[in-house]
Amino acid sequence: MAACCRKLSIMNIEEQSAVDLGRRIASGEVSSREVTQHYLDRIAEREPAVAAFTNLADDAVTTAEQADQQIASGQLRSPLAGVPVSIKDLLCTASLPTTCGSRMLREFHAPYTATAVQKLLDAGLVVVGKTNMDEFAMGGSTETGDGGATHNPWDRQRTAGGSSGGAAAALAAGMVPLSIGSDTGGSVRQPAAFCGVCGLKPTYGRISRYGLVAFASSLDQIGTLAHYVEDLAASLQIMAGHDPRDSTSLPDPTTEYLAHLDQPVQGLKVGVIREHIDNPGLDADIRDGVIRAQQALQELGAEIVEVHLPHTSHAVPTYYVIAPSEASGNLSRYDGVHYGFRQLGDSGAAAPLDAMISRSRSQGFGPEVKRRIMLGTFALSAGYYDAYYKKALQVRRLIAQDYGAAFEQVDLLLGPVTPTPAFGLGEKLDDPVQMYLQDLYTVGANLAGIPALSLPAGFNEQGLPLAIQLQGPALGEARLLSVAYQLQQQHFFEPRIAECS
């Protein structure tokens, strides 16, 4: 009888929040080993259809057993101790390969672990694997990576989004309760929206980037994906904080984000971004989702105010000058000399250094990465620097000023995450401009360095997830999370697990 009850205690476990799982593990109702094995079984069942992972951790069960032992001895290290987590495959992990979805790093094993990941390990979480992504995080559909495309669990003919598509799809399919991703121009929020889960991009510098393989250093930020807002808060609480190994890491004190989730919405001013809502390319169902969120906020006591971000139309072109320019410098280190993919002469014999570097880079990088390197190199070249990169930096300042002016009027901003629900696999691969325009509503937060959150907002008639976006001022994560948490209590914001049909 006891064994039967034990088995029942882990049924439907993927529908629970990571925080609830942590409580159950801490109380001894279930063990970390049982929870971890349950998710590993789910991965074995659903991974072939979804392709969310690049590598699985062989030591996950052993790590879970160690967590159980520490909890039993009274060493409860965090509210998420013993809870499984997946890591996007561009965060360095000493125990697993870090491929960045690229042939260039297919066999790369980092000699150290990223600060954010180490903080999760120190807090007692169990890493179950690394998730699939667009190559070097350059893409919006998780199709450009070395490991092939990830499929959206709600419709396997559609993209899971990108570049953290594997992280979002693993959650939507119920293969993991918590995923860590990265967001350079929307790479946490867009896949979260496409897969019907929550996604948080914190303030730039709120989480250390040490051990995050760089794409665009002034834009990259580590974020979390989860089914529940409380899980975003708990994971941020663990990962946030100053790191002397990251010069961009903020020295500001962190907040007990979980303890602030019940802050009242009453009296807050929420700005609806007029340029986003009035865009003729915005899907009608997504616009309706934003309106429903607006109504829900009013019922909670918030005041809705119309705000303007005048330079919205310049956000995408500004981003696609700055990000490729920084990428061209960051990716120059992959030359086939020190580490990573190396292509010698055609016969395998030694070749002149410049020829070896040329072969290694042309064969080690995929088309989208090479496109962005060339764009960035051109924008930084003599005669074009002032016309492109310098001008983009000036417009970036104007975009940040737009946000600053808006937050003088309101506490938070409300709008869409994406122009449309998840699009078909292969639909935009041959039209990079259309792919880039999917970032219209997300890149502004990265350019301004502010926190932003994607929250599920129901489904359309085709059964595809819809989402809304909340944005807050720098270091305003506590309020952002509390408003999102209370919105999620409204029934149409509840998360669901896909059947992977």
Q: What is residue 2's predicted lDDT score, i.e. its pLDDT?
A: 38
Q: By C-alpha distance, which of 9, 408, 320, 307 is closest to 140? A: 320
C-alpha span between 445 and 219 (Å, rounded) = 9
**Model pLDDT, residue 495:** 76
**pLDDT given at position 500:** 76
pLDDT of residue 494: 72
Give a yes or no: residue 348 inside a domain.
no
Pairwise CA distance, residues 88 & 114, whole Å? 11
- Which CATH number does the domain housing residue 103 bear? 3.90.1300.10
Note whether residue 36 is domain-resident: yes
Provide the 3-class DSSP secondary structure of residue 73: coil
pTM: 0.96
pLDDT attached to residue 348? 62
| 247 in any annotated domain | yes
Residue carrying structure tokens 């996604």: 199
Of the candidates 31, 86, 163, 249, the residue annotated as catalytic is 163
Q: What is the pLDDT of residues 110-140, one digit of tens each?
A: 999 999 999 999 999 999 999 999 999 999 9
- Residue 281 falls inside a structural domain: no
The three-class DSSP label of residue 446 is helix
Q: Which residues span the domain enclosing 12?
A: 2-272+294-306+409-493
Alpha-helical regions (H) of 51-144: 60-72, 115-122
Q: Which pair of tokens denotes residue 139?
A: 């893409």
Residue 110 lies in a domain: yes
Q: Is 188 inside any structural domain? A: yes
Which is the catalytic residue, given 187, 249, 360, 482?
187
**Side chain identity at residue 274, one-letter code:** R
116's torsion region: left (phi>0), alpha (psi -120 to 50) or beta? alpha
Residue 286: inside a domain: no
What domain count does the chain have?
A: 1
347 is catalytic: no
**pLDDT < 50 stretches in the chain:** 1-8
In the three-class reduction of DSSP (H, G, I as helix; E, B as strand; rest coil), residue 94 is classed as coil
What pLDDT was estimated at residue 7? 43
Q: Tell me how far apart the alpha carbons of residues 261 and 229 are, in angstroms, rounded to a whole number.
A: 9
Clarify whether 163 is annotated catalytic.
yes
β pairing state of 84-88 and 126-131 = parallel
Does residue 103 fall inside a structural domain? yes
